[in-house]
A and B are shown apart, each in its own frame.
Chain A
């Protein structure tokens, strides 16, 4: 029996807010300089509360942010150096362009969506299927498939050629109830499953709505023929139906809130029927949910937060802005990359997250950049790229030390220890267990064992001064050069005569220190 109480579930407010277009304005004007428009909405909101926005970030802070957000990894040291010394005034735009068009962007987006789409407790034996989904998603993002087409393709996927999305269905045992819940959270931004057990006293959607929505997933079956090949495929076969709880009432598929049934499909392919409405501009929830997710990705928090609770008891911090972003996405024919491009050009995205005087503005004011905790893979991949430099086994000088198997083993163990799929970016989701692993675990051993660490070995070159070495360490671990005081302290550590240690030992200490700082765990 499900007995949980549902506290947030009304949608009326969100839908009733109309388009943000202002009187007398043509569509062309409205979308002429969208990044400025976004900043205007924010500036207006600060006027009422007398909030002072933070200044523009320095180049190093911005570079780390753009790389982690768009490529999923900290900037490589040489790229960061080049960016910092580049005198051109439009170098930030160039950086954004090159990141958005790189395959790293597609990989990172696929990784993020893979995490959203799979249940948090997806077991390890499904890794092959998860990889198939990752590959499918990556292709969509490489091709920059419009978001409505991507979701449509995802929701109607079936057959041998379309194996990637199958795990979305199989990991939920093809159960209509779970699929209805997941689909509404992901693509509509609402927790429709709250109406599974009862009508909410204040809700617009009823129990009937939920079960009629679930009926779109009633006819899923695993395609037997494909099972032996190692791949999975799903298909719709008529016959099975969803019944209203504790009754014999067969639920016909119906869009939430609609009074009449959807147009019939020639082959009674229900998921296609669903997609026609769900992934369309006629569905008021779809573009808003997508825009809100993109905003949350870049700014560390949704305009509605959490992103899957877009109901009237949880109103947006900036309702007009959210509607504007949704309209913009529709106007751009659901081109997600365009929305990323536009948002990363706002002043808001370029503000520093450092507050040097006064109170930190509230996180939902977006008057200073929010500091985002790195995901386990963002941390590991940055460590791999900038510090491990291809070495994965501290114990061995053998060729296996650098093999893909060694990499998989170290990465796999790190992710198992550290993964926190449901964590919000403004939370630090780890406890003492995970921190012990950070300080004393195998990847930190490879990073700091003086004989094996790729980075430390590279720093021992005789033409480096101590200041050069410290600077490189900072660029590799924190994506910025050291401040004056920091340089002084680190130099003192390198040259402390009271301790009898080799320079490699001292560099190992400094690496360990930087890799364990709070700064190294975040996107600034």
Chain B
């Protein structure tokens, strides 16, 4: 007969949380881990992709050229690592520089948003015969914990741009990211409002009614499976049960940011990116292997005009959200299990155009790796004094993705089967061992 694990579990988490109020953070987390079914087991690795939509300026963030006319108006500041210098608008990240590895020798062949996005997010050129999955889909497939009640890949506020590069491609829709969208204007307290589509039953269905529905649904499923024990029927049943488990478990509370204090929410920044980073922390605590947060609604980093004004504003959000995420993960002992990649579709031209902007530049730009598995406190690769070319440590998107895989303990050569039966490696690049622990 139908048992109701869902609501029993909900009650026990409610107890755990109420106790947590008096017993301190670490015990609360242990409770969460225990109740959520081992989702935060010791061996679970996590990945955070910080996607900078539009193509962020390397010269005004992590590869400054203050002595050259291409350098622009921003000042350089010292970081926690002697000799490593960032933009003045990234002060909190500068403090954490010992955790960051700056890759200054990135180069690809794609200077168009759509094609550049595809190349950076899948590792492959757009338009070939194979539907390559987004790296987040491949990695979440490798890192997932089948027992977890939460989705394996959550993406916060993905842009409308280059949808194909966000898709699971030949891995199939079951490896698609769960999308968290911005719902309406900021709330009265001015924090961005984030929500997951379809996470709540319809308004008129209360939990008692939902449970009654499930009881009857369950017996229908069981009797159909008895005579039609075919793979598609079994798969439908399994996926439905995961979704129902998630609806009824504490796990989905991860998406509810109102449980956090104003102080903490404020520290991340009130915008979509900051609140998305906070959600990333909550999801990682609960065992989600892959979280992506996008900064630059639409093509925000596409600063063809007024580059400096826009980059300063974006950097303020970036600095608060990213740095607070790293600090909070570190406080919880989770940073060493979490690898962070900061990247956009390409960089910006070193030369400043007549509108005070910078244009598309895939020939020489920067990406950043941080956290678990990463040998921080260094810049790998270098560009010429004018920023026009890579003079040392040149890498491409395949090398970058292979390095990310290795930092996460995933063999980049692990293969998935594409349409038509071809085995295809996650990445065929060469991992950069110098930035790996």
Contacts and interface: CB of A to CB of B under 8 A. Distances in A.
A518 B236 contact: yes
Interface string A442-454: 0011001110000
B129 interface: yes
A371 B247 CA distance: 29
Interface in A168-196: 173, 178, 181, 191, 193
A493 B225 CA distance: 22
B220 A440 contact: no
- Counting chain A residues whose Cβ lies within 8 A of the other chain, the interface size class is 35 or more
A430 B202 contact: no
A472 interface: no
Contacts, number: 179
Contacts of B167: 121
B179 A439 contact: no
A388 B22 CA distance: 51
Interface stretch (A4-12, A22-30, A399-407): A4-12
Contacts of B202: 440, 444-445, 448-449
Interface string B386-422: 0000000000000000000000000000000011111
A354 B228 contact: yes
Interface in B212-238: 212-213, 216-217, 219-221, 223-225, 227-233, 235-237
B163 to A, nearest CB: 8
B428 interface: yes
Interface residues of B, number: 63
A437 B127 CA distance: 30
Contact of B172 (A121, A178, A429, A437): A429
B131 interface: yes
A128 interface: no
A510 B213 CA distance: 8
B197 A370 contact: no
A423 interface: yes
Contacts of B198: 436-437, 439-441
B128 A2 contact: yes
A123 B242 CA distance: 31
Contacts of B179: 433
Given A360-B230, A427-B235, A517 B217 contact: yes
B197 A509 contact: no
B19 interface: no
Contacts of A415: none
Interface in A236-291: none
Nearest to A519: B224
A426 B229 contact: no
A449 B173 contact: no
A442 to B, nearest CB: 9
A326 interface: no
Contacts of A450: 204
Contacts of A360: 229-230
B216 A513 contact: yes
A193 B244 CA distance: 43
Given A181-B129, A420-B173, A441-B198, A428 B216 contact: no
A309 interface: yes
B246 interface: yes
A355 B227 contact: yes
A373 interface: yes
B179 to A, nearest CB: 7
A483 to B, nearest CB: 8
Interface in B42-96: none
B246 A518 contact: no
A3 interface: yes
B130 interface: yes
Contacts of B220: 486, 513-514, 517, 519
B308 interface: no
A494 to B, nearest CB: 11
B240 A435 contact: yes
B199 A440 contact: yes
Contacts of B421: 7-8, 306, 309
B212 A431 contact: no
B213 A512 contact: yes
Given A431-B239, A509-B212, A513-B217, A371 B228 contact: yes
Contacts of B204: 449-450
Contacts of B422: 4-7
A514 B219 CA distance: 11
Nearest to B417: A7
A306 B420 contact: yes
Contacts of A449: 202, 204
Mostly, the A contact residues are: loop
B77 to A, nearest CB: 41
Given A513-B216, A516-B217, A433 B224 contact: no
A420 B172 contact: yes
Nearest to B170: A422
Mostly, the B contact residues are: helix
A439 B131 CA distance: 29
A426 B230 CA distance: 8
Contacts of A426: 230-232
A522 B232 contact: yes
B129 A308 contact: no
A263 to B, nearest CB: 30
Interface in A301-346: 306, 308-309
B151 interface: yes
A3 B232 contact: no
A499 interface: yes
A213 B212 CA distance: 61
B176 interface: yes
Contacts of B164: 121, 123
A377 B428 CA distance: 37
A174 to B, nearest CB: 12
Given A2-B128, A3-B428, A509 B170 contact: no
Nearest to A510: B216
A489 B167 CA distance: 42
A438 B424 CA distance: 32
Contacts of B231: 426-428
B194 to A, nearest CB: 16
Given A191-B420, A435-B240, A518 B221 contact: yes
Most B Cβ at <10 Å: residue of A191, A509, A518: A518
A505 B131 CA distance: 45
Contact of B174 (A356, A431, A439, A501): A431
B419 A432 contact: no
21 contacts: A4-B130, A8-B421, A178-B127, A191-B420, A353-B228, A354-B228, A355-B229, A360-B230, A371-B228, A427-B235, A428-B235, A428-B239, A430-B236, A431-B176, A434-B173, A441-B198, A448-B202, A450-B204, A513-B217, A517-B221, A519-B228
Interface of B: 127-131, 151, 163-164, 167, 170, 172-179, 196-202, 204, 208-209, 212-213, 216-217, 219-221, 223-225, 227-233, 235-237, 239-240, 242-244, 246-247, 418-424, 428
Interface of A: 2-8, 120-121, 123, 173, 178, 181, 191, 193, 306, 308-309, 353-356, 360, 363, 370-373, 420, 422-423, 425-437, 439-441, 444-445, 448-450, 485-486, 489-490, 493, 499, 501, 505, 509-510, 512-514, 516-519, 521-522, 524
Given A509-B213, A514-B220, 18 more contacts: A4-B130, A4-B422, A4-B423, A123-B163, A191-B420, A427-B231, A428-B231, A428-B233, A431-B239, A432-B246, A433-B173, A439-B243, A440-B202, A501-B209, A517-B221, A518-B236, A521-B232, A524-B228
